[in-house]
Chains A and B, each alone.
Chain A
């Protein structure tokens, strides 16, 4: 019984931890997209300044 309980706790903690890891990967993906867009925007702004 105690063995079963600890297995449930381990699985629960693992699911929470892996959820956090997946969320971090998702955030990083979104950050990469934003960085790309910002670079394009900066390039555009520089072009306009030159004109």
Chain B
């Protein structure tokens, strides 16, 4: 019973994604020119991208908390969140590239939205490099927290503002969020799309908790060995 109480949301996440995998590949979808059956990728590509934004936002909150209250646990949480965000970002880019190959004929096209997305992910990769380049624990945490706040702002500039300034993009969602704007999503796809968003959010959070616990244990082991 105790186990179920702790894990019900993980089981819910698994069930949601089982529904998304099965329904996403098997249910009927509207047959649109250019997209055809590839429209199914919206459940995975957009879902993972939203999952990434959710967990990166959590990372931003932890970094701000660290700057306010100086709790090292918040720094570790922010780091774990960024790593999970990078994983989801890489998966989002990968699924996007596969989708691009089947609709636009190439894995990558020179487009402000696509280029912005990859530069945004690289901004977060720099966060990991920055952390690795500082040895002092407090200095590292403070620097990383400040950078993480800037990284989140930069990320939004790269994926939302710069593509809008360019005014033309082959990628949908230039004047809103892809799949969320009115008329973007066929009603019959909503029964899979919305569970997909919830499922990917839960998956991102679950991975974050596992990674955070692993990092916390490693830190404690380091502290114990330093003290003894």
A binding-site residues for B, Cβ under 8 Å: 6, 9-10, 13-14, 17-18, 21, 24-25, 27-28, 31, 34-35, 38, 41-42, 45
Contact = CB atoms under 8 A, between A and B. Distances in A.
Interface stretch (B19-27, B89-97, B123-131, B145-153): B19-27
How many chain B residues sit at the interface, stated as a range, is 20 to 34
Given A27-B210, A28-B210, A14 B217 contact: no
B182 interface: no
B25 A45 contact: no
A45 B224 contact: yes
Contacts of A45: 224, 227-228
Given A27-B210, A31-B214, A31-B217, A18 B224 contact: no
Q: Is the interface of A mostly helix, strand, loop or mixed?
A: helix
**7 closest cross-chain pairs (CB), A and B:** A31-B213, A21-B14, A10-B25, A34-B217, A13-B21, A38-B220, A14-B21
A14 B22 contact: yes
A6 B21 CA distance: 12
5 contacts: A6-B25, A38-B224, A45-B224, A45-B227, A45-B228
Nearest to A27: B210
Nearest to B209: A28
A35 B10 CA distance: 20
A3 B228 CA distance: 63
Nearest to A11: B22
Contacts of A27: 210, 214
Interface string B215-228: 00100110010011
B19 to A, nearest CB: 11
Contacts of A42: 220, 224
B204 interface: no
A27, A34, A35 pick with most chain B CB within 10 angstroms: A34
A18 to B, nearest CB: 7
B2 to A, nearest CB: 12
B213 A35 contact: yes
B18 A14 contact: yes
A6 B217 CA distance: 43
B17 interface: yes
